[in-house]
Amino acid sequence: MVIKTVGVVGAGTMGGGIAQLCAGRGFSAKLYDISKEILERAKERIEKSIDTGVTKGKITPEAAAKTKRSIAYVLRLEDLAAADIVIEAATENLGLKQEIFSRLDALVASERVIATNTSSLPVQEIGAKAKHPERILGVHFFNPPPVMKLVEMIRPPRLDEKHYQTAKKFALDLGKTVVEVKDVPGFIVNRVLRPYYIEAFRLLEAGKTTIKEMDEAVVKLGGVPMGPCALVDFIGMDVNLAVTSAIFDGLGRPERLKPAALQEQLVKLDYLGPKVGRGFYLYRNRRAAGENPEVLKILPPVKNRLPPEALWAHLKRAIRQEAEMLFNEGTATKEDINTAVRLGANFSKGPFEMSSDEENRNRDRHYFSAEK
């Protein structure tokens, strides 16, 4: 099936970004939400992003104008009925997503694909009330969708191969790198990164490092643009915790994935990141302006400070072990796990590329034995 028109449900950051991406790649996009105010804010945000692209020379004024014209903002879900593919990008709430999918299943012709952009919820459960589960799958974009190269394609058990191939070609036409993963909580990137975040919180709780020292160590040694504390702030402390909790519950509440008490405390204190001006760091105009002194009061004094190499060894081991578990479960290939972590989390190496470096493995063992 040839896809020309894309329907997007939810005009938040992800939904708006997906609509912008599709329009910029030559598709006609219809962006739906429940209120005119939400759609107006989405339009303003999208057009500002497009105009920034013109200013930076990434897109011509003519292409920018065409992209803007290619997005329709609609208040009726029925307006998506004729779309060739519909992507749901609503809030990560299972009940809400099930209701949306039930309505879409009745509106959209049965030969057309309906996808969810969920970051952690089981796709099979999202489509549980649909009469045509064979055309439902996960197409997980990363934030911001016009920039991030990765798409996780999630295969529920009842998905028809032809619909998978249609969605995969669509993602490739958007210029994305596609990785395939079975329908498990967290998929690849969010699953593999859970122990990484949890270990970062544990090291802070144990007084092994400071916020700034840990972030600087990971940026330097991990080859990433931001460390775990800055990344949790960027994602949103509450959003990150919600994903951790969903994966923890979805996998049977294993101890290794139990949400950190420190993170739960910071969420209760409303230290959520740039969107509220404070998280691990303070923010002015959404830019970090030093560690949050109130968080520093909560953390214990640093004793037995770990050097940067040891901090990175701890975090790297957490990533590797979860990746190995994911592979051994048959959820994804090693190649796709490596690709997903590189492109979805911006690490310079994937988990199995990290563990294949014998010199680093020997050095890591030295740090762990030295702590005993």
**pLDDT category of residue 370 using cuts at 50, 70 and 90:** very low
Q: Give the model's pLDDT for residue 368.
A: 47
Q: How far apart are CA 239 and CA 10, in angstroms?
A: 17
Sign for the CA dihedral angle at 172, 176, 179, 183 comes to negative
Contact 190, 243 (CB under 8 A): yes
Predicted confidence (pLDDT) at residue 358 exceeds the cutoff of 90: no
Quick one: how far is CA 87 from the chain centroid?
A: 15
- Report in angstroms the alpha-carbon separations of 146 from 23, 218, 274: 10, 26, 21
In tens, the pLDDT along 239-284 reads 999 999 999 999 999 999 999 999 999 999 999 999 999 999 999 9
Q: Give the model's pLDDT for residue 234.
A: 93
Q: Give the model's pLDDT for residue 361.
A: 53
What is the DSSP code (8-state) at residue 273? B
- The tokens describing 244, both together, are 């951790």
- The tokens describing 287, both together, are 């830019």
What is the DSSP code (8-state) at residue 299? S
Catalytically active residues, by annotation: 119, 140, 152, 190
Q: Give the model's pLDDT for residue 289.
A: 92
Q: Give the model's pLDDT for residue 249.
A: 94
Q: How far apart are CA 279 and CA 317, in angstroms?
A: 26
In tens, the pLDDT along 21-74 reads 999 999 999 999 999 999 999 999 999 999 999 999 999 999 999 999 999 999
